[in-house]
Amino acid sequence: MFDYDVIIIGGGPAGLTAGLYAARARLQTVLLEKMVLGGQIATTEMLENYPGFPEPIAGASLGPLFEAQAKKFGLEILQFHEGLEIAPLSPGFEVRVSPARELRGKAVIVATGTQWRSLGIPGESELKGAGVSYCATCDGAFFRDQEVAVIGGGNSAVEEAIFLTKFAKRVYVIHRRDALRAEKIVQERAFANPKIEFVWNHVPVRINGDGAVTGIEIENVKSGERRQLPVDGVFIYVGMEGNTGFLRGLVALDERGFVQAGEDTVTSCPGLFAAGDVRQKLLRQVVTATADGAVAAVQAGKYIEGNFS
Known catalytic residues are: 135, 138-139
Q: Would you count residue 176 as binding ligand NAP (CB under 6 A)? A: yes
Residue type at 39?
A: G
CB proximity list for 206: less than 8 A, separation 6 or greater: 121, 122, 123, 216, 217
Q: Given the DSSP bridges, would you call strands 101-110 and 93-98 parallel, antiparallel or unpaired?
A: antiparallel
Binding range to ligand NAP, per CB under 6 A, among 24-32, 86-94, 174-182, 295-303: 174-182
Site for ligand NAP in 41-60 (CB under 6 A): 49
Whose Cβ is closer to ligand NAP: residue 120's or residue 306's? 120
Interaction between residue 238 and ligand NAP (CB under 6 A)? yes
- Interface pattern 197-236 for ligand NAP (x via CB under 6 A): ------x---------------------------------
Residue 279 engages ligand NAP in binding (rule: CB under 6 A): no
Query: Would you count residue 190 as binding ligand NAP (CB under 6 A)?
Result: no
Residue 107 or residue 236: which is nearer to ligand NAP going by CB? Answer: 236
Nearest distance, CB of residue 239 and ligand NAP, angstroms: 3
Q: How far is the CB of 48 from ligand NAP (least distance, A)?
A: 8
Part of the chain binding ligand NAP (CB under 6 A), chosen from 5-13, 58-66, 258-266, 282-290: 282-290
Q: Contact between 159 and ligand NAP (CB under 6 A)?
A: yes
Positions 76 through 105 that interact with ligand NAP (CB under 6 A) = none
Any contact of residue 67 with ligand NAP (CB under 6 A)? no
Residue 189 binds ligand NAP, judged by CB under 6 A: no
Contacts of 145 (CB under 8 A, 6+ apart): 167, 168, 169
Query: Any contact of residue 137 with ligand NAP (CB under 6 A)?
Result: no
Asked if 284 touches ligand NAP (CB under 6 A), the answer is yes
Q: Which residues of the shown chain bind ligand NAP in the complex (CB under 6 A)? A: 49, 119, 151-157, 159, 176-177, 181, 203, 237-240, 283-285
